[in-house]
A and B are shown apart, each in its own frame.
Chain A
Amino acid sequence: MPKDFGIGAPQKRREDIRFLTGRGVYTDDLKIAGQTYAVFCRSQVAHGRIVSIDTTATAAMPGVLAVFTGEDFKDVGGNPAGWLIKSRNGEPMREPKRPVLAHGKVRHVGDAYAAVIAETYQQAKDAAEQLAADTVIDELPAIVDMAAAVADASNRVHDEIPDNLCFDWGWIEDNRAKVEEVFKTAPHVTTLELVNNRLVPNAMEPRASIGEYFPGTGDYKLTTTSQNPHLTRLLVAAFVLGIPENKLTVVAPDVGGGFGSKIYHYGEEALVLAAAKKLGRPVRWTAERTESFLSDAHGRDHVTKIELACDKQGNFLAFRTETLANVGAYLSNFSTATPTFLHGTLMAGPYKVPAVYVNVKTVFTNTAPVDAYRGAGRPEATFSLERVIDKMCRELNLDPFEVRRKNFITTDMFPYTTPVGLVYDTGNYQATLDKAIEVGDVKGFEARRAESAKRGKLRGLGLSTWIEACGIAPSHLVGVLGSRVGLYDAATVRVNATGNISVMVGAHSHGQGHETVFAQIVADKLGIPEASVEIVHGDTSKIPFGMGSYGSRSLAVCGVAMTKAVDKIVAKGKKIAAHMLEASEADISFENGKFSVAGTDKAKTFGEIAFSAYVPHNYPLETLEPGLEETAFYDPNNFTYPAGAYLCEVEVDPDTGKVQVCSFTCADDFGNIMNPMVVEGQVHGGVGQGIGQALCENTHYDENGQLVTGSYMDYAMPRASDVPFYTVDYSCQTPCTHNPLGVKGCGEAGAIGSPPAVVNAVIDALHRGGIKVSHIDMPVSPARVWSAIQNA
């Protein structure tokens, strides 16, 4: 029986009431007295030199209050990359400045080179149109293809970077020679060249920002669509505009989805703040959907060659990859970590492969910046591994289930050090595979295939066994890996005099359900009703500190910080109770919301203790401060390692190439589960995005650097009819060994594990239909499947 409250209860999300009844308050919903409107001029060409911007006519237009160009920001700081990566030769990565507004050159279609502030939105639109007409940009040849970018030293995204290369990274460089030896003598080598397709995040709420300046105090306030308000404050204040951190408040109210794209600081945020100061009036901006397509940080975009060395029985001997990773025109904040430490370190999968070497060349192109997107590096690693393993199984005529099983790290091997630098603390990969086979009814597949065949459809079964490193945290580890920040998190638990509780958390919820789940945990630990607990997030003036939500880290890092703050509350409560009950502190126990003296019926409720802390008439004031509020910071000592097995069944229509996903089965190990309903929702969303990547989503820049798929007319998002009813099982649980909640994180799993399962299923269906196709790049669209069938 599931619990009906507290930890483990499938509580409906309290925040959904406001979201589903239109009562959420998003950035664009806020109306501020005296507000003005910013509209950006964005480059129509992928690459060009800004010759002149004549602001005269624009500045004289009705309602226009100010015009900004790159010239206005040339002396302020740039928006930095958060991770310093070193090339194989020891050189630090190339870091071109990322300005607030493009200066000198525009480097991608949508690159903002000017902004107009006006009294009304329409006036600002009109003025921006005029300014664009009065701007002269000399178009330069666009650099779009990564291989060509690296090969042609004459054409440069950044004039100071001759080969358009950010870095050439080897992981682990010392393994390179050893891996080469293995490949020389291996009985079998399977090679696969593949593309991990670029994705546009497409959060339902576009980015939006409001800048305010209060001249009386010199304070600034930025209200913005952020997953990460404290990091945005740090970047805007310390790196870009030079505002003292304590003079800037960043608020991220309700945020309608991020998927990574709202982790980062963008130039529009700095612009509205600078403009607000100049005008002494609030300045607001909300992206149009086209702006989102053109200027949000995109995801993925890897071109990879992966090789698998094995014996004839399919025992893995080594993996080796060469990847070109697109960073676009500028380095977004996490862009250098995503293709490296969130990708290369996962290239052993859940397998006991003895040798792995990963090479990543990261390339500047005249396209939108690329950064972390749900899964961030780990989907790329998983896709490469699970596709090449499937290809090898076909080449050697081996069972893909058994090959994975025989290569799994076994339960007696934990903690397990991989050849790519991680230490997996716990897991049971055999158990999740067995569970997937059972729940997904693999036994019944042949009957289902025969039934599909009767209708002229080719049915296939695809498997993916995945692992990820998440709970992105340990500062000591990420510091070694190049991170320029720490990755702990923080929470304050404030017990009010009347016993209800405000919890200020550094994690930011933009759809994840923290307000419900975090309250469940606090209520459970303190033995009080969940309704008495309020979760406060997304405001740097209210919460102690935070590193935001991404990398499936909210619960595993911030949730643990919160639990530790609760532990401090209980410890202080025991001291108060000992005084009130005239007992020794060591004899006080706390259970079900009561502090009691062991072996007696003497007890005080949590509410009585809270009241006493604020009305300390009978209180140990000489040794204990009044009040009941505690803060904890938590920095874990390792990543967490969720893992699982995914099964996908598809039907391929051989006449049209259309793929229909018939079923999708997930057997996940997320460690302990705080709210199974929220976990299922996260997995559903992740798998939906994974199916979208596998079958639908194609970000296509043409040779001139124009984004051909710049609207929903050409960018295919998955819809309800594209996804099946999911089967999600999370009963295999190996609790995380290094955090007190035993949790691992579930936000990205679906997007990490699902794409290879879908593609493996399509290839399986074609093979079972006698069509020997070894690979189809994502998105596996009807046209691509049909072409593959024609060319087979």
Chain B
Amino acid sequence: MYAFDFVRPKTVADAVKALQAEDAQALGGGQTLIPTLKQRLAQPSVLVSLTGIDEMKGVCRDGDVLVIGGGTLHATVAREARAHYPALAALAGNIGDPAVRNRGTIGGSLANNDPSACYPSAALASGATIVTNSRKIAADDYFQGMFTTALEPGEIITSVRLPIPQKAAYVKFEQPASRFALVGVFVAKYAGGVRVAVTGASNNGVFRWTEAEAALSANFSAGAVKGLKATAADLIADLHGTAAYRAHLIGVLTARAVAAAG
């Protein structure tokens, strides 16, 4: 690591102020940032830890919406969302390993927007609202490509509001080495229709598979997506799978997610 200053503010307002310093960097659970620093691939002047801000932690229900503080640990979501949004809790409970789940936060994951991360698929499939210190952003507007989001520099995700679906499931096919999603599909059924979000597969990061959404909105069954082909155009091709393989997995996992949602 290169040398840096470290602050751990107690309030969102203080964190926002601290992030105005030149080359300041917000630190959530550090599950991506710390390894990046260790490899000397980033050189922030000051790390602003968000882990001391109590107002950004916790899971609560607001009518039909589940509200999760941006600084909430995956392990907490796995535990406390189970009664309200079991598919989301299951997703959180399968991120990384216990060490990761007890450090990593939902806000950190969404702000980083790793193309293979699990949470972006849940946020997008749920039509979530990303709440920051200054505004509210619809998930459809928030994810803007691999490691790219609508966040402005210094903007902090304070909470995530996820409408609770009638039925939902997330199915992840693990990349053999990292165990991130090689492909992950989150299916959520609402009164207004079905949303299907795919992570791990695209060079543009998480995306909605609209053809599957249409088919499933008409007929919510695994059979409804049979024969439906996800477009292979912008899909990732690497050592762990070709674009065609990922396209195929999107179909398989969507059907499995629908079956698991019941």
Contacts and interface: CB of A to CB of B under 8 A. Distances in A.
A782 B176 contact: yes
Given A656-B249, A781-B240, A787-B242, A712 B40 contact: no
A786 B240 CA distance: 12
Nearest to B248: A786
Given A713-B178, A715-B177, A782-B176, A708 B239 contact: yes
Interface in A687-728: 695-696, 698, 700, 708-709, 712-717, 719
Contacts of B40: 125, 129
A290 B177 contact: no
B223 interface: no
A655 B39 contact: no
A246 interface: no
A200 to B, nearest CB: 12
Contact of B252 (A122, A129, A290, A656): A656
Contact of A712 (B39, B178, B245, B248): B178
B262 interface: no
A222 B119 CA distance: 49
B176 A716 contact: yes
Interface in A749-784: 779, 781-783
Contacts of A715: 177
A290 B239 contact: no
Contact of B239 (A129, A700, A787): A700
A781 B176 contact: yes
B35 to A, nearest CB: 9
A227 to B, nearest CB: 27
B96 to A, nearest CB: 12
Contacts of A781: 176, 240
Given A129-B40, A656-B249, A122 B3 contact: yes
Contacts of B39: 290
A709 B176 CA distance: 12
Contacts of B242: 783, 787
A783 B178 contact: no
A787 B245 contact: yes
Nearest to B1: A122
A129 B252 CA distance: 47
A709 B177 contact: yes
Given A696-B176, A714-B178, A655 B239 contact: no
A719 B179 CA distance: 10
A671 B178 CA distance: 40
Residue of A709, A716, A779 most packed against chain B (CB within 10 A)? A716
A655 B226 CA distance: 12
Interface string B177-193: 11100100000000000
Nearest to B177: A716
B127 to A, nearest CB: 28
Nearest to B116: A713
Residue of B1, B173, B245, B252 most packed against chain A (CB within 10 A)? B245
A713 B177 contact: yes
Nearest to A718: B176
**Chain B binding surface, main DSSP class:** loop
A702 to B, nearest CB: 9
**Chain A binding surface, main DSSP class:** loop
B118 to A, nearest CB: 16
Residue of B1, B176, B239, B252 most packed against chain A (CB within 10 A)? B176
B211 to A, nearest CB: 19
A700 B239 CA distance: 8
Interface in B20-79: 39-40
A228 B46 CA distance: 46
Interface residues of A, number: 27
Interface in B211-262: 239-242, 245, 248-249, 252
B5 to A, nearest CB: 15
Nearest to B244: A790
Contacts of A657: 245
Interface in A107-163: 122, 125, 129
Contacts of A717: 177
A783 B245 contact: yes
A698 B175 CA distance: 13
Contacts of A716: 176-177
A700 B176 CA distance: 14
A783 B173 contact: no
A130 to B, nearest CB: 13
Contacts of B240: 714, 781, 783
Contacts of B252: 655-656
Nearest to A708: B239
A708 B239 CA distance: 9
A779 B252 CA distance: 23
Interface string A468-484: 00000000000000000
Contacts of A709: 177, 239
A788 to B, nearest CB: 12
A779 B240 CA distance: 11
B173 A656 contact: yes
Contacts of B182: 782
B43 to A, nearest CB: 11
A698 B239 contact: yes
A479 B248 CA distance: 56
A470 to B, nearest CB: 31
A786 B178 contact: no
A708 B179 CA distance: 17
A695 B176 CA distance: 9
Given A709-B239, A783-B240, A714 B249 contact: no
Nearest to B255: A655
A119 B177 CA distance: 37
Contacts of B178: 712-714
Nearest to B39: A290
Interface string A200-217: 000000000000000000
A717 B175 CA distance: 12
Contacts of A656: 173, 249, 252
A664 B1 CA distance: 44
A517 B240 CA distance: 42
Contacts of B177: 696, 709, 712-717
B257 to A, nearest CB: 13
Nearest to B183: A656
Residue of A129, A713, A779, A783 most packed against chain B (CB within 10 A)? A783
B237 to A, nearest CB: 10
B239 A714 contact: yes
Contacts of A122: 1, 3
A472 to B, nearest CB: 33
Nearest to A700: B239
A657 B177 CA distance: 16
A783 B182 CA distance: 10
Nearest to B242: A783
Contacts of A714: 177-178, 239-240
A783 B3 contact: no
B191 to A, nearest CB: 31
Given A290-B39, A656-B252, A786 B3 contact: no
A551 B153 CA distance: 57
Contacts of A655: 252
Nearest to A783: B241
Interface in A661-707: 695-696, 698, 700
Contacts of A786: 245, 248
Nearest to A722: B176
Contacts of A696: 176-177
Given A656-B173, A695-B176, A708-B239, 7 more contacts: A655-B252, A712-B177, A714-B240, A716-B176, A782-B176, A786-B245, A787-B242
The 6 closest A-B CB pairs, nearest first, are A716-B177, A716-B176, A783-B241, A713-B178, A655-B252, A714-B177
28 contacts: A122-B1, A125-B40, A129-B40, A658-B173, A696-B176, A696-B177, A708-B239, A712-B177, A712-B178, A713-B178, A714-B177, A714-B178, A714-B240, A715-B177, A716-B177, A717-B177, A779-B176, A781-B176, A781-B240, A782-B182, A782-B241, A783-B240, A783-B241, A783-B242, A783-B245, A786-B245, A786-B248, A787-B242
